[in-house]
């Protein structure tokens, strides 16, 4: 049986990158997937392609910083599909592309999208999951939520650290309501849309990864799939690193 048979899932930031791969994998595993992003053209194309390959998916515009937009998306999902079982809070922006690594407006943007966006998603999904059969929330943090780096904006580390701990907070608070909340911490992956560290920095970081290579998006998507599925039924408040051993050192 497919691993997400009968489940309804929302994936944010699903128009490209890891969110796209997670959405495609979820659909292959039998979920009805609601793909959300601010990049509407790409998001619609991915959803249409999933449907063309036999999956069940739709695209909805969602800016994760907009609380009314969250209400709308969760409302449409429940109205259209009857339930919400899984939320993957994947949307995020990178801390690499700013010339000013101490910019205050960059701090605000990083915290707004990467941290507040996850808080709003949990707040509104939990409201619906509590009324149903519970659910599973997977929040995408990073190795940058566990250790510091000297080459990115400290707001990125702060935002991903916030995701790590708000995950545990929600996990203990809603465990009895049968809502599991876990975080996934990718290591060095293909660059984000907003920019990446220089190739010299990426090479130096790769040399310091025990597996001596960057990660593949699928390798993160399978970790997210596991936590989202009922296979992880006794796992909540956990942090799953997918980093080739980087944080084990």
User: Catalytic positions, please?
Assistant: 156
Identity of the residue, 45 or 83, whose beta carbon is nearer to ligand NAD in the bound complex: 45
Tokens of 206: 């790769």
Sheet holding 32-37, edge to edge: 56-61, 32-37, 8-12, 86-89, 135-140, 179-186, 239-242
Tokens of 135: 């659910």
CA pair distance 208, 172, nearest whole angstrom: 35
Which residues in the 54-113 window bind ligand NAD by CB under 6 A?
62-65, 90-93, 113
Smallest separation, CB 123 to ligand NAD (Å): 15
The site for ligand NAD, by CB under 6 A, has a size of: 28
User: What is the pairing mode between strands 239-242 and 32-37?
Assistant: unpaired
- 95, 142 in Cβ contact below 8 A? no
Smallest separation, CB 25 to ligand NAD (Å): 13
Nearest to 119 by CA among 139, 133, 135, 104: 139
Smallest separation, CB 36 to ligand NAD (Å): 6
Identity of the residue, 117 or 244, whose beta carbon is nearer to ligand NAD in the bound complex: 117
Smallest separation, CB 227 to ligand NAD (Å): 14
Where do contacts with ligand NAD occur on this chain (CB under 6 A)? Answer: 12-13, 15-19, 37-39, 62-65, 90-93, 113, 117, 140, 142, 186, 188-189, 192-194
């Amino acid at each position: 049986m497919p691993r997400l048979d009968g489940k309804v899932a929302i994936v944010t930031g699903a128009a490209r990158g890891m969110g796209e791969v997670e959405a495609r994998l979820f659909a292959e595993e039998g979920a009805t997937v609601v793909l959300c992003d601010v990049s509407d053209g790409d998001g619609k194309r991915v959803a249409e392609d999933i449907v063309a390959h036999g999956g069940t998916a739709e695209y909805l515009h969602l800016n994760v910083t907009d609380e009314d937009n969250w209400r709308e998306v969760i409302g449409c999902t429940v109205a259209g599909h009857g339930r919400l079982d899984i939320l993957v809070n994947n949307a995020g922006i990178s801390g690499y592309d700013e010339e000013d690594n101490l910019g205050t407006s960059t701090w605000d943007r990083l915290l707004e999208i990467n941290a507040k966006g996850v808080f709003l998603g949990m707040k509104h999904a939990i409201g619906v999951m509590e009324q149903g059969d519970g659910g599973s929330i997977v929040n995408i943090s990073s190795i940058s939520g566990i250790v510091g780096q000297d080459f990115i904006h400290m707001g990125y580390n702060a935002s991903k650290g916030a995701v790590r701990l708000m995950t545990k907070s929600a996990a203990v608070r809603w465990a009895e309501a049968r809502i599991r909340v876990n975080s996934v911490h990718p290591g060095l992956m293909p660059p984000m849309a907003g920019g990446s560290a220089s190739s010299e920095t990426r090479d130096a970081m790769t040399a310091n990864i025990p597996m001596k290579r960057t990660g593949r998006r699928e390798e993160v998507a399978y970790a997210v799939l596991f936590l989202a599925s009922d296979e992880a039924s006794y796992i909540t408040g956990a942090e799953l690193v997918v980093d080739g051993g980087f944080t084990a050192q």
